[in-house]
Amino acid sequence: MSYHAVNFKDKLGLFNEQWSPKVVAEMNDYQFKVVKIQGEFVWHDHKETDETFIVLEGRLRIDFRDGYVELSEGEMYVVPKGIEHKPYAEYEAKVLLIEPRGVANTGDETTSQTAENDVWI
């Protein structure tokens, strides 16, 4: 049998759109998604689940109502469920998201940045 690893750089080379997470793997009912982000996202939360950000390339800031966290390549942060947050990147950042299957990128909000869900590459 032939088995193949998921290579993040290869997957990120397959698309250019920003704020449009692409699924690259599943573990039980969780999905791993790569995404390119630049600029400001919308304030949102996920009522039912935590959400994990791992920075693959670049720098990411996650704003909270009472502070923020900055992440560089090789760093991760778990946003607890129900906590309002707003991702931001001055320059394009490449990020691995981990969250349960079916979670919308803008939470309960539907905005121009709401992406189609469950898109595999």
Contact set with a copy of itself (CB under 8 A): 1-9, 24-28, 30, 32, 49-52, 56, 62, 64, 66-72, 74-78, 81, 98-100
Closer by beta carbon to a copy of itself, 6 or else 111 = 6
Smallest separation, CB 98 to a copy of itself (Å): 7
Tokens of 101: 């299957």
Smallest separation, CB 49 to a copy of itself (Å): 6
Q: How far apart are CA 98 and CA 109, in angstroms?
A: 19
Smallest separation, CB 13 to a copy of itself (Å): 12
Closer by beta carbon to a copy of itself, 47 or else 112 = 47
Comparing C-alpha atoms, which of 7, 15, 60, 57 is closest to residue 32?
Answer: 7
As a residue count, the chain comes to 121
Closer by beta carbon to a copy of itself, 101 or else 110 = 101
Indicate left, alpha or beta for 47 from its phi (over 0: left) and psi (-120 to 50: alpha). Answer: alpha
Smallest separation, CB 112 to a copy of itself (Å): 28
What is the residue type of 111? T
Comparing C-alpha atoms, which of 73, 65, 70, 58 is closest to residue 18?
Answer: 58
Closer by beta carbon to a copy of itself, 81 or else 111 = 81
